[in-house]
Amino acid sequence: MKNRMFRMFTLLFAVAVLFLPLSGQAAQTRIQAKNVILLIGDGMGPSQFGAAWIYSNRVLMRDLRMSELMKKGRTAYLVNDTADAIVTESAAAAGQIATGQRMTARALSMAADGKTPVKTILEMVKEKKLATGLVTTSGITDATPAAFAAHVAHRSNEESVADQELKFGVDVLMGGRKQFFLPESAGGKRKDGRNLLEEAQKAGYTVAGTAEELKAAPTGKVLGLFNMSNMSFEIDRAATQEPSLAEMTRKTLQILSKNKRGFFAMIEGGRIDHAAHRNDAPATIRDTLAFDEAVGVAMDFVKKNPATLLIVTADHETGGMALIGHSKESKEYIGMNLKAIEKATASFEAMVGKWGKKPTPEMIKEDVKQSLGIDLTDDEARTVADDTIKKLDPYNYGYDYLHSLGFVLRPYLRVGWGSQTHTASPLFLFGSGPGSEKIGGLLHNTESFKIMKAALRLK
Ligand SMILES: [Zn+2]
């Protein structure tokens, strides 16, 4: 009996030893990602996230999909300083995520000499014949998508970016700033007289200009340009004209997943940043929620396609957003005014756009009442009309009327702003899927490139 047991153990041991290298290999194959979906909330710092989290849980009565992903997957803090600055802008930040190297301000995936292109992860996956996609609610020629597919010395050269994105052959391009694809004679901004929409069609792209056209587009290459300028803030968006970020994400994943080798998609909530630049709390929150919906679409895709590394992060925080405690009436701790945020029906940008060059305090009072449901005092309306905040600190508060409006609304909305521009606040980076085991602790944004590269086994 003892002898038989011994023989059985020996046999089992031998079998285990025999299969050990195989199972190791199987585990290695398992951790290779076929697809990478990178979602970037432009300007989405911890306060933007926190404001959307509170709003979602207490007004919409549901948790964020982002918190679901954080709970299921892995989360890290992310820092983002660059080669030449402590506070970054989107070009350097996106370049660092796209290339893994420290960048200088406003250059797009270029070495510090301003001339030498640095290879991006999108170029690497293209060499491996994976499908590629870039999607944003900002301009498709804006810094974040541009850093993945283009190399220019200064991000303002958007004519060249549009050209390079099409030459690259990115399979899916969706966003705003159609103006950089059209010649001046057709209402665009191209000085070279070229019509890139026609050129794209000849190169095999379906060109879509509305939400309906996008829905109807076949699953080949798509160039979706839904606004001459940036796409609308979520709070102002007409759903028949412009698709939501979630709709664009769904279509993108549907198209890219046709490639049997896999794909890389960068999907950006580009206007969280723009709303925060304008110190506009309701628009910031709505755009963060629209971004969250897109994260949800990606999470649902991952459920059916588990060989996908899903990463959600931000490039930088914008505005020094702070959820402050006290109201107009008392020093009791209360926090963000959810009812007022819920009532807001227009972005600050749309409001100021209606005011003209010299708005009167009366006009401002009336519009704030109508668009935000808030009764400003005469002093407050005058502070906005005089644009006091901009006069006091023009470089940190540069937009006309918006910061003065943001300032007088502080005790009503209980949201404050430290600046008109980006800050060095640490960010989140979280995700799931093969390769996500490296997410944790404190990461630098150059390391997000390394995580994606390792997950796809790129050399
Ligand atoms: Zn910005």
pLDDT in tens, 5-41: 556 655 555 555 444 444 444 444 457 999 999 999 9
pLDDT in tens, 388-422: 999 999 998 999 999 999 999 999 999 999 999 99
pLDDT at 27: 43
- Give mean pLDDT, residues 98-126: 93
| Residue 145 to residues 120, 136, 182, 195, 378, Cα–Cα distance (Å) | 11, 7, 19, 21, 44
Instruction: Name the nearest CA neighbour of 106 among 135, 165, 146.
Output: 146
pLDDT in tens, 325-361: 999 899 999 999 999 999 999 999 999 999 999 999 9
Tell me the β-bridge partners of 223. 173, 207
Q: What is the pTM of this model?
A: 0.92
Ligand 1 center from residue 5 Cα (angstroms): 70
- The residue extents of the domains of the chain are 34-320+422-455, 323-417
DSSP H/E element including 272: helix 271-277
Ligand 1 center from residue 90 Cα (angstroms): 6
Q: Is the pLDDT of residue 191 over 50?
A: yes
pLDDT at 113: 81
* Greater model confidence, 136 or 115: 136
pLDDT in tens, 128-177: 999 999 999 999 999 999 999 999 999 999 999 999 999 999 999 999 99
Torsion of CA 51, 54, 60, 65, to 10 degrees: 80
Share of the chain above pLDDT 70, in %: 93
The token pair that represents 22 in the structure block: 């195989």
- Give mean pLDDT, residues 431-438: 97
Q: Is the pLDDT of residue 380 over 80?
A: yes
Ligand 1 center from residue 43 Cα (angstroms): 6
CB 60 within 8 A of CB 288: no
Ligand 1 center from residue 56 Cα (angstroms): 24
Whole-number average pLDDT of the chain = 93
Ligand 1 center from residue 429 Cα (angstroms): 18
CATH code, residues 34-320+422-455: 3.40.720.10
Q: Is the pLDDT of residue 75 over 70?
A: yes
The token pair that represents 277 in the structure block: 């630049």
Ligand 1 center from residue 198 Cα (angstroms): 31
Q: In the structure, what pLDDT confidence band is assigned to residue 115 with cuts at 50, 70 and 90?
A: confident
Q: Tell me the HSE value of 346 on the side-chain side, using a 13 A CA sphere.
A: 14
Positions marked catalytic: 90
